[in-house]
Amino acid sequence: MNCPKCKIENLREIQINGVKVDRCKYCGGLWFDKDELKLTRDHRDKNLSLLEFDLWEDESKLMVSGKSVDCPRDGKPLFKIKYGNTNVMIDICLDCHGIWLDREELDKIILELKEKVNSETIPEHLNNLGKEIVELLANPGHADVELKHIAIVMKLIEYRIISKHPKIAEIISVLPD
């Protein structure tokens, strides 16, 4: 598949802790298909159910700010979705429900997770998540740490975005062309 940003065939499928994503080896952007989602398993994921991370949770905070690059799957325009005052922008395809995440957006999400983890009393096993996020931010090139967190963040995003998709579709449907 072509990277929607770089416009050349750069996307490579990688498997991270059971999450399949396509990653562009140049810009570091991530694409995931709806078919790759495994929501039933996500529901049982301890990391996710305990992490009350307010990202795309509150439907009233969802904002669509127009069209973006084209979907690598079907060529339809992706729509930019923003959530509240988080400044995290993701691109979604209304047709295939795929999600595109720029590398910078992933970094922002990880930063927010880090703040969340630092600011609250969290279960013991999530303390490790906090430490690993700190390590990831300090060593962005560290592949193992990076991939582990991408997996956690991806699962969270997949779960939230897919569960909010009907609302996002509704917002997009009333946008002027």
SS3 of 142-167? CHHHHHHHHHHHHHHHHHHHHHHHHH
- Residues 98 to 157: which contact Zn ion by CB under 5 A? 98
Q: Is 171 in the site for Zn ion (CB under 5 A)?
A: no
Nearer to Zn ion, 62 or 93 (CB): 93
Judged by CB under 5 A, which of 9, 52, 58, 74 binds Zn ion? 74
Euclidean distance between CA atoms 115 and 9, whole angstroms: 35
Q: Is 96 in the site for Zn ion (CB under 5 A)?
A: yes
Q: Is 51 in the site for Zn ion (CB under 5 A)?
A: no
Euclidean distance between CA atoms 59 and 36, whole angstroms: 24
Pairing verdict, β 89-92 and 99-101: antiparallel
CB of 145 to Zn ion, least distance (A): 22
Residues contributing to the site for Zn ion (CB under 5 A): 3, 5-6, 24, 26-27, 29, 71, 73-74, 93, 95-96, 98
